[in-house]
Amino acid sequence: MKIAVLSRQQAIERVGYSLGLDGRVLNGELSPELIGQALRRAASILAPCSRYELERSVRQTLQPLGSPGDVLDLMVQEVLESLIVHRDLLEMRSTAEEAWASADMMIRPAAPSFVKREDGSIAVLGTAGDVITPIPEDLPARLVHSGALRLLVPTSGEPLARRLKEFGLIELTEKAWLRLPRVEPAGKYVEEWHRRLRDAPIGSRPEGLLICKPTRRGMIYRDRWTPAAVEETGLFVARRPQRFGADLWCLVDLQPNSAARILDLFSTGDTLRPCDVAWQIQMALDERAGLAQAFRCRSNGVRSMIDFFSPIPSWAERRLLLVGRRQTGPGYLYSYEMATTAADSERRFLCESLWMVEQN
Amino acid sequence: MLASAQSDLERHFSALASARVGHDFPVYAFEHGLASAELAALRSELEAQLREVQRPLPEYWLLWSVIAAEVGYSYDGDEYWQSFSLEVPSWRFYGDRNIIRDWFRMFANRFSGFSPRGRWADHFSIISWPITHSILPRYLQAHFAAHLHDMRYDLAQHGDLGIAQLGSLIQLRYYGGSARFRDFLQQTELTARLVLALRDEDIQGGVSPVFRSTLGRIVGDLEGHQAVRHQLREARKVLREARFRSNQSLFGRPVVAPNGESRDSKYDRVARAKLMARATSDGAWRIGIAIPDFTDILRGEGFQFSVLDNTRIRFANDDGRWMPGRALLSYSRQYRPISALTHAGMAFLEIDGADARLRALLQPFFKLQGSFPLLLKIYEDGTARQVHGNHVRAERRYVIVTSDPLPGDTIAKLELKQVVSPVVGVVAYELGTPAVLTERHFQALKQLSFGYGLRACVEPVGLLPRRSGESNSTWLPSEEVILRLSADFAVSEFVVVVNDEPAVHIEDAGDSDALVSFGTLPIGVHVVQVIAVAKAADLRLEPEQLFLQVRSPEPWLESARKQAGVKLVMEPVNASLQDLLTGKGKISALGPRGRVARIDAFIRDAHGCDPTPMTLGNVDLPVDSDAMDRVLQKLDSDTVMGRVESAVCIDIDLSADELGHDRLSFHQEVQPLRWKLEHRDGSLLGRLVDEAGADQAVVVRRYDLCSPDRYVAVKVDDCYAGVSVPAAGALFVARHRGQRYAVVFGLRERVTSLADLGARVDFDVTGHTTERAVAMLLVHYRRWHGARALGPLSSVHRSKVLSAFELQLARILCRKNWADRANACLTLQGLQQSNQFDLLQREVGGSPGFAIAVSDKALECNDVRDIEHHFVDKAQAYRVSSDATISAMAVALALCPAEVRFDNWARGQEMLRALIANPTLLRGAYLAKLAKDIGRSPGEGRVARQSI
């Protein structure tokens, strides 16, 4: 046995290899691809587990590898969010059989699967127990890590999708992967949720309730969230605290005298996350109030960037991922870069499905 | 040409045998070294010669052996002799199977050739020679590559085992479903040599267990399929790396000995159950158990999982519900919350029905280690796990689990916070230790029998460990173990000892902190001891000990199935497909409510490759067993049943996009004597396939549908050639060496009722005593019941005949009038059925409560064993019968007559006589069956009538 004392950079390289990455190209830094692989592996070990358990476990094992300037907490959170958006990991309600579950919403790995993208590349999703990326033995060397997304690019005429299917991966159709809700007017969408809310009993407002206030142009998303004032009434997307774990997403009808009807948000079969439902309701509420949320499109000729200032549901992000890649930068929450030829249909999609408007 | 080829091959094989003297490498006929053109020429010469002289000539015996091995290599796994006849067409007319076996025996004698062994070789006494002499038949190559890949790390670890042990390991560790591949693995010496040959193909010189050009051909064929190629390459890479390491002295010890030797005590310590706790959203601590990996424990001692089939288990202190023993496998490596915990041996599981050896193996793993109070450390994932040795460290968080409240002064000294735990018999406290512990802490810890030690702090870095308890973690051979060594005090050096290796001193630890790699470790349990040497001379330090278990990665398809968000649940767990289609077994499907899942069937041949799935339907999750029944009935259709019956394996697959899929596989054994239904010249013929070398030692009888208890003798040669089946169908039974090979052939005539089976189903029970008549009907029933069904409507025919037998039995046992009316009750509806049921119930006899109780209970029960249990109870309670054996037999006759056997006829006769003298008991049993069949109890009927 060879026992060796490692520097931080050497340790990152070796951890990278153990996680199925080329350790040398990590340059001794904790990158999204390394964190993504660490999260996938940890999810296979811990699942079903709560989001905070997964984050904390990975953070603690990576902490000794971080340099003083690293914001490891934030990196782990962001990469985990991306994995959930990609449906590499699934965030679902715990079931009655999961008696050991520690929270209402649990993370579990998606089944080993893949989805074809517009540019011909293939996104590999899910994990399988001890095998973080279950693909044929010759393919790991060809994996391209785009952030936390794992992509395979077929060579000309290569029947890559067929090989993956024969190997045992599930091919997800675009429809099955995106899980796009039907297109409908904002008013109708809000009314449907309002109808469900009216069936909820009236009770007192829970302590620590945060509501999302109507937007103003240029307002930062996180500034829209404020504690519900006693005199506040009306329909709001809200978050109510629980003793452990993240606040729950809900729809509230605030009534005088601190009364309220509250409806926790989720979708049938957990095909949508509660936050996805909440963000869509908020977009519909904003549009109905004449303050539709905006996106911005920038183009440099062949490439276009669509910038967002508030979060959009994960199904909309997945659709954008089919044609582009996500990036962050100053002046917006995040942006999707794509071929300009693809941008037109995506802009139309955002206007129709999320009632957004394009900002000049 | 044939003569020179014969002498060339004799020289070749003699040279091969001489080269292998002293190496224990037998010679195989497939190692002929001929090119494909030479083989083709040889085959055509032999065919011409056979056609001419009308018998295979003994002077070319070696050539025939080579050709036979070639057929063994390339045949499709279905029927050897048919494949042989395709290669040498005249063989059908002039061939002699027995002579092939003789020539292979001669080959074995002359050239130190291979001799097949084992149960499979005994059953397939002729074809086992050419098949094993082909080394690795093509149709098994994908199975072999997959198995080699799954076992690569285990094989690497055991590379220095002897041939016999290595082959046994390869055989023991196969958990796949292919019966044919399992049979092949019985040739343990062959498979072991093949593995060694594949590993050492790159070593030039030396003697290879397989002739190099032959091995090259097998490898070339294996690599012909992309997926197989990569599995093979990866497996060979791991084996070769291990061979290299082995030359430099392997370290680490095997987790388990392949031949069932006693296990390493380190392994037992790592493998045992541990107490765990997890905080709930309301601040309480839920307490549970990390269940050991029973799959590993059973495999380690060489047990097949089927050993659990006769057992049942239940969680102690829980709801007391017994579960099938195989549930142990599902619970393996799972966390299970408990509702109560007591001192009594800390046992949390019970087993019933296990033999002494199995019980002795499992019992230690059914209880927790230690006694109250138990110390659990809270880990990075928020879960608290039991601490081995109850040692507390500074600046850590713990949960203390005990049976009685702790004394007030202990609580005060340790600043314990009592927390809520829903577990009966348990009091729990949270403990947070300060950076520096003082005398008052030491005193309080001593009162709890907890120790305290100043030690190095050892934490895994980069990779989250798979924890199974304090100090125990599990890793894969591909994962590099990196640990961060640190201490809460100034350290001059760390001393690291792994297993029994010399100590390694790490002196330059910076700020008392070092990242240390242990590299990738071989499979086994490795004990790592870390001692921090303090700069201050007066510090008393204890070594920190870690147990790193390294195991093979689980095959990913199996893991994916386990983690899927959809599940198929079958009851009983070992039900056959036939059981499902006849309602004796049930499947239900679990998954998120509101999601839609697809159900497919994969009907596989001997190759086992993925056929086109047959979609059975889309269903809304979750799916109850009735809805699943409706979906599965598509397999029982005329068009599909023939394929199902002749398939080697049928998979039922449930899938729901990104949630994954779950699968139940139903394997069908290949019999050395088996029946086939073939289309020839526009008609359907039943043909007997003989791969047992049975020839004339077989007796064949035919039973027609309308006289199912009388036979007509059929010439066995006609059966080998193919016999026509009477209209509608018939049962054919071939007997050889006391074994029965039975099939019900069905043709296209539709049968909707018993009447359609003929003018009348006629039983010949005259001239016998009642007991004798019952016994004979049972023998016939078993014969029809155990027969395979082949051809359209064959399963319908069989079930109609069985119904006729059941009715005949009921008529004898319960009197004709009662039995006929009970039978008619099945076809009635609603109120009419309820009235008829009430009438039958009143006519059972004895106390009216007995009939009501047995039918009510039958409806609640899920299986025959439960019904029997309640029936025996009720028969005793209502004084119908105090003899439990007789009562149980009444239930068996009514509900599962195929299971009633009389090994001792004198005793059987006595029991039947006692039964027949107690019509109340018999009618009670038949009424229970009727209640179960029509799915309603008398109580329901009364309610229905009252509401009208």
pLDDT tens, position by position, B43-66: 999 999 999 999 999 999 999 999
Q: Which of residues 602-631 of B touch A (CB under 8 A)?
A: 610, 621
Strands, sheet with B480-486, edge to edge from the N-terminal-most edge strand: A4-6, B513-520, B480-486, B457-460
Contacts of B331 in chain A (CB under 8 A): none
- Taking CA–CA distances from B380, the nearest residue in chain A reads A57
Q: Which stretch of B188-202, B326-340, B453-467, B909-923 has the lowest confidence by average pLDDT?
A: B326-340
- Taking CA–CA distances from A137, the nearest residue in chain B reads B230
Please name the residues in contact with B603: beta carbons below 8 A apart, sequence gap of 6 or more. B611, B614, B640, B643, B644, B647, B650
Give the tens place of pLDDT for each residue, B284-323: 888 888 888 888 788 777 787 778 877 888 887 656 677 7
Please name the residues in contact with B683: beta carbons below 8 A apart, sequence gap of 6 or more. B724
The dihedrals phi and psi of B229, each to the nearest 5 degrees, come to: -55, -45
Taking residue B937's Cβ as centre, other Cβ atoms within 10 Å add up to 20
pLDDT at B95 over 80: yes
Contact A130 B553 (CB under 8 A): yes
| Confidence (pLDDT) at B353 | 84
pLDDT at A293 over 80: yes
Q: Please tell me the distance from the alpha carbon of residue A250 to that of residue A336, in angstroms, as a whole number.
A: 28
Q: Which stretch of A299-308, B226-235, B517-526 has the lowest confidence by average pLDDT?
A: B226-235
pLDDT at A186 over 90: yes
pLDDT at B362 over 60: yes
| B592 interfaces chain A, CB cutoff of 8 Å | yes
Contact B517 A128 (CB under 8 A): no
pLDDT at B259 over 70: no
Give the tens place of pLDDT for each residue, B136-147: 999 899 889 989
Give the predicted TM-score (pTM) of the model: 0.76
pLDDT at B258 over 60: no
Which of B462, B476, B560 lies closest to A65 in CB terms?
B462
Mean residue pLDDT of chain B comes to 84
Rounded to the nearest 10 degrees, the angle between the axes of helix B163-172 and helix B188-200 is 100
- Taking CA–CA distances from B513, the nearest residue in chain A reads A64
Give the tens place of pLDDT for each residue, A248-262: 999 999 999 888 999
Mean pLDDT of B744-754: 64
Please name the residues in contact with B809: beta carbons below 8 A apart, sequence gap of 6 or more. B774, B777, B778, B781, B893, B897
| Confidence (pLDDT) at B164 | 81
Contacts of B657 in chain A (CB under 8 A): 111, 113, 170, 172, 176-177
When comparing pLDDT for B669 and B344, which is higher?
B669
Q: Which stretch of B9-23, B219-233, B318-332 has the lowest confidence by average pLDDT?
A: B318-332
Using CA atoms, how far residue A118 sits from A140, B273, B811, in Å, is 22, 50, 71
Which of B230, B464, B556 lies closest to A131 in CB terms?
B556
Query: How many residues are present in chain A?
Result: 360
- Taking CA–CA distances from A175, the nearest residue in chain B reads B657
Q: How confident is the model at residue B343 (pLDDT cuts 50, 70, 90)?
A: low
Give the tens place of pLDDT for each residue, B378-420: 887 778 888 877 888 888 899 999 988 999 999 999 999 999 8
Contact B462 A3 (CB under 8 A): no
Distance from CA of A360 to the nearest CA of B (A): 38
* Inter-residue contact B792 to B639 (CB < 8 Å): yes
What string of H, E and C letters represents the secondary structure of chain A?
A: CCCEEECHHHHHHHHHHHCCCCHHHHCCCCCHHHHHHHHHHHHHHHCCECHHHHHHHHHHHHHHHCCCCCCHHHHHHHHHHHHHHHCCEEEEECCCCCCCCCCCEEEEECCCEEEECCCCCEEEECCECCECCCCCCCCHHHCEEECCEEEECCCCCCCHHHHHHHHCCEECCHHHHHCCCCCCCHHHHHHHHHHHHHCCCEEECCCCCEEECCCCCCCCHHHHEEECCCCCCEEEEEEECCCCCCCEEEEEEEECCCEEEEEECCCHHHCCCHHHHHHHHHHHHHHHCCCCCEEEEEECCCEEEEEECCCCCHHHHHHHHHHEEEECCCCCCEEEEEEHHHHHHHHHHHHHHHCCEEEC
Percent of chain B scored above 70 by pLDDT?
A: 89
Pairing of strands A294-299, A357-359: parallel
Contacts of A126 in chain B (CB under 8 A): 560, 658, 660
| Confidence (pLDDT) at B655 | 94
Q: Considering only CA atoms, which of B488, B485, B523 is closest in space to residue B507? A: B485
Distance from CA of B559 to the nearest CA of A (A): 5
Q: How confident is the model at residue B935 (pLDDT cuts 50, 70, 90)?
A: confident
Q: How confident is the model at residue B895 (pLDDT cuts 50, 70, 90)?
A: very high
Q: Please tell me the distance from the alpha carbon of residue B198 to that of residue B233, in angstroms, as a whole number.
A: 10
Q: Please tell me the distance from the alpha carbon of residue B290 to that of residue B337, in angstroms, as a whole number.
A: 9
Write down the residue that tokens 């002196």 correspond to.
B507
Mean pLDDT of A187-201: 94
> What Rg value do the Cα atoms of chain B yield, rounded?
34
Distance from CA of B466 to the nearest CA of A (A): 6
Contacts of A163 in chain B (CB under 8 A): 226-227
| Confidence (pLDDT) at B32 | 95
Q: Which stretch of B48-52, B696-700, B887-891, B910-914 has the lowest confidence by average pLDDT?
A: B696-700
Contacts of A90 in chain B (CB under 8 A): 565, 658-659
Pairing of strands A170-171, A113-116: parallel
pLDDT at B453 over 80: no
Give the tens place of pLDDT for each residue, B599-620: 999 988 766 666 788 999 999 9
> What Rg value do the Cα atoms of chain A yield, rounded?
22
Contact B559 A129 (CB under 8 A): yes
* Inter-residue contact A93 to A266 (CB < 8 Å): yes
Q: How confident is the model at residue A243 (pLDDT cuts 50, 70, 90)?
A: low
CB pairs under 8 A between A and B: 215
Contact B227 A245 (CB under 8 A): no
| Confidence (pLDDT) at B247 | 47
One-letter amino acid of B835: N
Q: Which residues pair with B872 in a beta bridge?
A: none
**H/E segment holding residue B604:** strand B596-604
* Inter-residue contact B232 to B509 (CB < 8 Å): no
Taking residue B852's Cβ as centre, other Cβ atoms within 10 Å add up to 21
Contacts of A46 in chain B (CB under 8 A): 381, 464
Q: Which of residues 456-495 of B touch A (CB under 8 A)?
A: 459-464, 466, 476, 478-480, 482, 484
| B269 interfaces chain A, CB cutoff of 8 Å | no
| Confidence (pLDDT) at A241 | 87
Which of A11, A47, A163 lies closest to B461 in CB terms?
A11
The dihedrals phi and psi of A253, each to the nearest 5 degrees, come to: -115, 100
How far is it between the farthest Cα atoms of chain B?
105
| Confidence (pLDDT) at B252 | 33
- Taking CA–CA distances from A102, the nearest residue in chain B reads B280
| B511 interfaces chain A, CB cutoff of 8 Å | no
pLDDT at B503 over 60: yes
| Confidence (pLDDT) at B134 | 94
Contact B560 A41 (CB under 8 A): no
Contact A18 B480 (CB under 8 A): yes
Distance from CA of A299 to the nearest CA of B (A): 35
* Inter-residue contact B743 to B675 (CB < 8 Å): yes
pLDDT at B565 over 60: yes
pLDDT at B597 over 90: yes
How far is it between the farthest Cα atoms of chain A?
72
pLDDT at B941 over 50: no
| B565 interfaces chain A, CB cutoff of 8 Å | yes
| B282 interfaces chain A, CB cutoff of 8 Å | yes
Instruction: State yes or no: cis peptide before B572, omega within 30 of 0.
Output: yes
Q: Please tell me the distance from the alpha carbon of residue B807 to that of residue B48, in angstroms, as a whole number.
A: 60
| B903 interfaces chain A, CB cutoff of 8 Å | no
Give the tens place of pLDDT for each residue, A4-57: 999 999 999 999 999 999 998 898 889 999 999 999 999 999 888 888 889 989
Which of B230, B519, B556 lies closest to A134 in CB terms?
B556
Contact B563 A47 (CB under 8 A): yes
Contact A130 B556 (CB under 8 A): yes
When comparing pLDDT for B288 and A104, which is higher?
B288
**Residue B357: strand, helix, or coil:** helix
Taking residue A351's Cβ as centre, other Cβ atoms within 10 Å add up to 14
pLDDT at B462 over 60: yes
Residue A141 exposure: Cα atoms within 13 Å on the Cβ side: 2
Contact B230 A138 (CB under 8 A): yes
Write down the residue that tokens 């009715």 correspond to.
B807
One-letter amino acid of A345: S
Q: Please tell me the distance from the alpha carbon of residue B915 to that of residue A140, in angstroms, as a whole number.
A: 70
